[in-house]
Amino acid sequence: MRINLERTRLLLCDDNEQALSVESAMFRGFGMHRQYKASNAKEAMGIVTSREVDLIVMDCGMPDMDGYDFVKWLRTQGPGDAAYIPAILMTGHAARSLVEKSRDCGANFVISKPFTPQVLLQRVFWVAKDERQFVRTAGYVGPDRRVRNLGPPPGKKGRRSTDLSLKVGAAKDPNMEQYEIDSLMKPQKVIL
């Protein structure tokens, strides 16, 4: 797949200055020279409200407001069409529960740190060719999460005989490998 990223307006947000610099260099290497950088979610909110942005790439674990809460804000309270801006979250702690939290806050994809430029570019391609419908409900706003049948939402009774049990396992999960994260986040055809 070939994509010209030269005109893409990127919002890159990471509270680690060194990581932000490295991530910015990777995107410049992809041809994305129109970059807005923020060191926290409050700065990112200001950029989204005052500028046009085509893609948001943000660290999950930041003080005050984390990436999950930022994406929820973006999807539910962001200005104008900002709710539809694709958002990729980056995390250094890829426990299954946190990957699911990324998906459930409305993020398009999640990347486990550290990552290679190849993985990052591949996720940008995934966002570019993502065909999932955008969903707006009382409890969720974002790309359609139905990539696998993991049972009904928490607190809801299942509607299908194949729905999984609501019983919760261990409190903490080990970190997931990137290929495991991809299997949770990558869009798949849904047959209804």
DSSP secondary structure string, 60-79? Answer: S--SSS-HHHHHHHHHHH-S
Say if CB 120 and CB 26 are below 8 A apart: yes
* CA 10/CA 117 separation, integer angstroms: 16
Say if CB 112 and CB 181 are below 8 A apart: yes
How confident is the prediction along the chain (192 residues), in pLDDT tens digits per residue?
678 899 999 999 999 999 999 999 999 999 999 999 999 999 999 999 999 999 999 999 988 899 999 999 999 999 989 999 999 999 988 788 888 888 889 999 999 999 999 999 999 998 888 888 888 988 888 888 775 555 555 666 655 555 555 555 554 567 778 888 887 776 665 555
Instruction: Determine the pLDDT at residue 40.
Output: 96
- The 10 Å Cβ neighbour count of residue 16 is 15
* CA 18/CA 143 separation, integer angstroms: 31
- The 10 Å Cβ neighbour count of residue 51 is 11
Say if CB 122 and CB 134 are below 8 A apart: no
* DSSP codes joined into one string, 9-78: EEEEE-S-HHHHHHHHHHHHHTT--EEEEESSHHHHHHHHHHS--SEEEEES--SSS-HHHHHHHHHHH-
